[in-house]
Structure 1
């Protein structure tokens, strides 16, 4: 099972806002979707292929994107090493799991990664569609009480 990364998504409150921002950048820069970070993961061979970048928004992991490649680069302005994280443009909503603030990124083992958000044909009262339609704070409260 692949290793994942988790990173704060500063200034973004919801997955839809991230989708809109990245779509705008892709239109302006080209089709490549790249996020640059200062440190290069030492465990890159465990991340690619199959790992994801999980985004923390407003104190909780809210979505993820598949990592396609990790490219070591040198910042031309500073001469410092950096890492370009090449991402799949598809943003997948996850269950909202609380996450404390941190700097940079952290490794996330697959067994500790939040599951993708449930969606589906549901079919009415108590179905998957009903859960997906709930506000994130309501889902978090119900999860704490053990109902979800």
Structure 2
């Protein structure tokens, strides 16, 4: 193999390593209080922790609040907290995927996070402060115009 091909290969490998390390570092910042539930546990995080890993944290964000009242930027899915199992086909197939649940104030998020753990997901986080506190801390929220 000539020198240019070797250098290109090494550069490609280094770029892949940087991406992997940045994803691992971002997700590691989501360390929070552990909540034990039947089947495992999930973690509670705050607005600052979530904001640090967005949008490059390689996370799936799910708004579980009903009725819909708005959303945090970079939200991937909208699934009612009490219908998580019904919409399991929309959830990541990888049970180890990093999932962040949120609602308006936190309680619906706790219920949804527990259900995800019972379904076998192992990397679940709940923004217990919810969308309301997220907005009060100055982070952007897209509110439903009919709810304002």
Q: Is the shorter-chain TM-score for this pair beyond 0.5, marking a shared fold? A: no
More strand by share: 1
